[in-house]
Chains A and B, each alone.
Chain A
Amino acid sequence: MAFQVNTVKYSGKINVIPVGAQKINLGGQAAFPFYDFEGALPNKPKLALQIWDMDPGESYAAPLAAAYEGVLGDPGTWAKKAVEYGADMVCLTLKSTDPNDKNAGAAEAVAATQKVLDAVDVPVIVFGVDNKDKDVETLSAICEKFAGKNLVIGPITDKNYKQIGAQALAYGHTVIARSPIDVNLAKQLNILLMDLGIKPDKILIDPNTGGLGYGMEYCYSVMERLQAAALLQADDKLQQPIINMLGEEIWKTKEANQKVEDVPTLGDQNSRGVLMEVTEAVSLCAAGTSLLVLSHPESLKIVRYYIDLWADGGEIKGDGYLNVPITPIA
């Protein structure tokens, strides 16, 4: 008798979330990731590139600075570059508004967002600095100014969901609900947002992504449990697509910033960082992400190519991908 895979019956599915004025669909899964032998997976994970609203300066990893040479410091041209690199979406992070850093105000945040929207025609994520008061100030203003653009706004937490949530609701944006790597807290925040009147197809779950080797496993298992709750138990408070902000977690690690001359056993710095980002991206795909926010364009290129083959089948034939130089070790 021919081999038959043991299949699972799913009773729920992930909501489809159309983002941006362009209405690009996120989510919609009716099976575990890449298990298309037992359920429909209409939308592959989408890939965004992260840009800053200011020049990152010396804290920015050298391989990233090289990839975005000439556009750092101007969010408009930076966003355009990200789209040229193949990003489905651009994630503008409002780094300059960090009260522990430049503490720029709402007007500047609005201006940066305007530049990005003027420059590109893809859906835009606007991400604060995870400071509950500052994000209320900047994101509320952005919600109002760009009414109807269906921006993706975050992070929204249980500390500031009322203020930012109300603004997003009033002006028609999609929200990113961030909770600290916990299924119940994610559900709780979704309930609070839905009670506020936000429709289930206007919410993304941000499980607070840990970096590869820096706690990724917590996020990974929470995502698998979120998927199980949404698909097997049909928990309609958890059927939101998941967004992972992984790029910046990778590139701020010590290992992504060490020079090969100092640590030959870690290999070529650019390849290493890119492949750390690729490895985490693939892991999070396997755990059920719908939207990955990456940093390096080469990571995006590899992850895109791989997701297509992983989902659609076919052989790897790609040329022109990263060529890893082998580092001699004395």
Chain B
Amino acid sequence: MALTGIQIFKLLPGTNCKKCGSPTCLAFAMNLASGKAELDACPDVSEASREKLSAASAPPIRPVTIGSGATAIKVGGETVQYRHEKTFFNPTGIGGLIEDSKSAADIAATVKRWQALQYLRVGLNLRPELAIVKGGPNLAAAAKAVVDNSDLSVVLYSEDVAALKSAAEALAGKNPLIGPATAANYKEVAEVAKAAKVPVWLKAKDLDEVAVLTKGLKEAGINDIVVDTGARTPKKVFQDSVAMRRAALVGQNRDYGYGTITFPNEITDNLALQVPVAASLIAKYAGIVVLSDLDGAVVFPLLLQRLNIFTDPQRPMTQTEGIYPINDPDENSPVLVTTNFSLTYFIVSGEVEASRVPSWLLIKDSEGLSVLTAWAAGKFSGDDVGQFVLKRSGIVDKIKHKSVIIPGYAAAISGDMEEELPGWKVAIGPREAAHLTKFLKEFSVA
């Protein structure tokens, strides 16, 4: 539970020595409370105070890093139940299942196919990150085949502690998540994890046992924990997920302050039906969802959903300023200019594409504002847009004509633009993107 500045102040030495960089201990306490300072900056704080403070300042849901490199993810670390309260920070990891009974060649082919599932969107690379390697005796070899043939991060899944141990050793430096730790084996799994310095996932029978196992693992020296509540029906897995989040944030119950791993692939064999399971869990709080296989038809919808749910609502998504060719345009194709709000870009580019009219779409930086707002805020003014079209964008090197289409909502800037663009025709497009097809089909460049 977070302490106030005054509560923190009482735990500090009170010497006002300034060694921490703050003028007084009270000022330092205030900075600690608001997260602007680190306790380590104080050289004189007592051990007892340090323990109290670090326990109190720990996040309510412990963030755990899984994997390494480009596919490393964080599970946990969330602070709210609803994205509009602040934001969700750590997007649900998406992974596919690899059985260790498969041949190395099969595994290699599968993970190469999975690694190809990457989609660039609003400057982000959307992709599944994980391979969940499940089995026993061949676990290490299968896990090795995954990392040798892809950059996917690995979750190890075996009841056989010896197999987990050798697989964790084979993945040294790759930081796999290992498990399941259960009531029967959690002490041994903890030893393996401590030796390999990797996080552990536990599998409980129910929510009661979750607390037993998290406490047990903690006593055994494991802090980086991910929880499987054991639920394997659509209703139970969803409600357990909600219960975990509520227990951590509302109940401030440390035993439940962990991210979760869920197994849509163990809820149904049908890959299509795993999608609604995963979608309900991406919406509500899962740290990882595991599918039986990964394919664009399944993964792409979930990646879009994840992008939407985990986008920071306090910051608009933007598209990079520049030239976007649509439908193979040439030097006589029309040129459209609009703002860099990602929705504006998506909708306009979608409609232009649907029109099948080859076109150049220019995206001008408007600080992520939509057309009407950008125009009203002076981020899409005639001089500015005119300069952008003529100089900064580089479109003049690609076309032979001198005409540009502006959004209907920014019609008022056409006069100023014409002054910036002598000899150009500034055409006013429709207000709604939905009318672009008709407009483009009837439009001819000057």
Instruction: Say if A and B assemble together.
Output: yes
Q: Which residues of A contact B (CB under 8 A)?
A: 2-3, 5-6, 34-35, 37, 59, 100-101, 210, 212-218, 220-221, 224-225, 228, 252-255, 257, 263-268, 271-272, 274-276, 278-280, 282-283, 285-287, 302-303, 305-306, 309-316, 318, 321-324, 326-329
Q: Do A310 and B313 touch across chains, with their CB atoms under 8 A apart?
A: no
Q: Nearest Cβ distance between residue A103 and chain B, in whole angstroms?
A: 12
Q: How far is the CA of A225 from the CA of B353 in the complex (A)?
A: 34
Within 8 A of A (CB), among B265-318: 267-268, 270-273, 275-277, 279-280, 283-284, 293, 295-302, 304-305, 307-309, 311, 313
**Interface readout for B334-369 with A: 1 if CB under 8 Å, 0 if not?**
000000000100110110011000000000000000
Contact of B283 among A255, A283, A321 (CB under 8 A): A283
Q: Do B300 and A272 touch across chains, with their CB atoms under 8 A apart?
A: yes
Q: Nearest Cβ distance between residue B383 and chain A, in whole angstroms?
A: 30
**What is the chain B residue whose CB lies nearest that of A312?**
B235
Q: Do B283 and A313 touch across chains, with their CB atoms under 8 A apart?
A: no
Q: Do A216 and B84 touch across chains, with their CB atoms under 8 A apart?
A: no
**What is the chain B residue whose CB lies nearest that of A330?**
B116
With A213-B121, A316-B234, A316-B270 in contact, is A266–B309 under 8 Å at CB? no
Q: Do B296 and A315 touch across chains, with their CB atoms under 8 A apart?
A: no
With A6-B251, A224-B82 in contact, is A282–B283 under 8 Å at CB? yes
Q: List 15 A-B contacts (CB under 8 A).
A: A3-B211, A34-B238, A221-B313, A224-B82, A225-B84, A254-B349, A265-B119, A275-B297, A275-B298, A276-B301, A279-B279, A279-B301, A310-B280, A316-B234, A329-B116
Q: How far is the CA of A302 from the CA of B277 in the complex (A)?
A: 11
Q: Nearest Cβ distance between residue B177 and chain A, in whole angstroms?
A: 24
**A-B CB proximity, top 4 nearest:** A267-B297, A267-B296, A213-B304, A271-B297
Q: How far is the CA of A192 from the CA of B66 in the complex (A)?
A: 52
Of the four ranges (under 10, 10 to 19, 20 to 34, 35 or more), the interface on chain B belongs to: 35 or more
Residue in A225, A272, A274, A303 whose Cβ sees the most chain B Cβ within 10 Å: A272
Q: Do A324 and B304 touch across chains, with their CB atoms under 8 A apart?
A: no
Q: How far is the CA of A255 from the CA of B305 in the complex (A)?
A: 14
Contact of A217 among B121, B246, B273, B309 (CB under 8 A): B309
User: Does B171 count as interface, using CB distance less than 8 angstroms?
Assistant: no
Cβ of B49: which chain A residues have Cβ within 8 Å of it?
none
Q: Do B350 and A324 touch across chains, with their CB atoms under 8 A apart?
A: no
Q: Nearest Cβ distance between residue A204 and chain B, in whole angstroms?
A: 22
Q: Do B234 and A309 touch across chains, with their CB atoms under 8 A apart?
A: yes
Q: Which residues of B contact A (CB under 8 A)?
A: 82-84, 113, 116-119, 121, 206-208, 210-211, 232-236, 238-239, 242-243, 246-247, 250-251, 267-268, 270-273, 275-277, 279-280, 283-284, 293, 295-302, 304-305, 307-309, 311, 313, 343, 346-347, 349-350, 353-354, 434-435, 438
**What is the chain B residue whose CB lies nearest that of A305?**
B273
Cβ of A313: which chain B residues have Cβ within 8 Å of it?
233, 235-236
Contact of B246 among A6, A224, A311, A314 (CB under 8 A): A6
Q: Do A276 and B435 touch across chains, with their CB atoms under 8 A apart?
A: no
Q: How far is the CA of A213 from the CA of B121 in the complex (A)?
A: 9
Residue in B119, B308, B434 whose Cβ sees the most chain A Cβ within 10 Å: B308
Q: Do A213 and B350 touch across chains, with their CB atoms under 8 A apart?
A: no
Q: Nearest Cβ distance between residue A117 and chain B, in whole angstroms?
A: 28
With A34-B238, A267-B296 in contact, is A212–B304 under 8 Å at CB? yes
Q: Nearest Cβ distance between residue A176 and chain B, in whole angstroms?
A: 19
Question: How many contacting A-B pairs (Cβ < 8 A)?
Answer: 202
With A5-B243, A34-B235, A313-B236 in contact, is A329–B113 under 8 Å at CB? yes
Cβ of B271: which chain A residues have Cβ within 8 Å of it?
324
Instruction: Other than A275-B298, A282-B280, A329-B116, give 10 A-B pairs with Cβ distance below 8 A.
Output: A213-B308, A214-B350, A221-B84, A225-B84, A268-B297, A276-B300, A283-B279, A283-B283, A283-B305, A315-B233
Q: Secondary structure at chain B's binding surface: helix, strand, loop or mixed?
A: helix
Cβ of A278: which chain B residues have Cβ within 8 Å of it?
272, 275-276, 279, 301
Q: Do B233 and A210 touch across chains, with their CB atoms under 8 A apart?
A: no
Q: Do A287 and B283 touch across chains, with their CB atoms under 8 A apart?
A: yes
Contact of A5 among B84, B118, B246, B295 (CB under 8 A): B246
**What is the chain A residue whose CB lies nearest that of B297?**
A267
With A252-B354, A278-B276, A283-B283 in contact, is A314–B247 under 8 Å at CB? no
With A213-B121, A217-B313, A316-B267 in contact, is A322–B305 under 8 Å at CB? no
Q: How far is the CA of A181 from the CA of B238 in the complex (A)?
A: 27
Q: Nearest Cβ distance between residue A328 and chain B, in whole angstroms?
A: 7
Q: How far is the CA of A278 from the CA of B118 in the complex (A)?
A: 21
Q: Do A326 and B295 touch across chains, with their CB atoms under 8 A apart?
A: yes
Q: How far is the CA of A101 from the CA of B346 in the complex (A)?
A: 23
Contact of B435 among A100, A271, A328 (CB under 8 A): A100
Q: How far is the CA of A280 from the CA of B117 in the complex (A)?
A: 20
Q: Nearest Cβ distance between residue B231 and chain A, in whole angstroms?
A: 11
Q: Do B300 and A267 touch across chains, with their CB atoms under 8 A apart?
A: yes
**What is the chain B residue whose CB lies nearest that of A320?**
B270
Residue in B82, B272, B276, B434 whose Cβ sees the most chain A Cβ within 10 Å: B276
Q: How far is the CA of A37 from the CA of B311 in the complex (A)?
A: 29
Cβ of A212: which chain B residues have Cβ within 8 Å of it?
301, 304-305, 308
**What is the chain B residue whose CB lies nearest that of A183?**
B84
With A213-B121, A255-B300 in contact, is A5–B247 under 8 Å at CB? yes
Q: How far is the CA of A35 from the CA of B404 in the complex (A)?
A: 53
Q: How far is the CA of A56 from the CA of B236 in the complex (A)?
A: 42
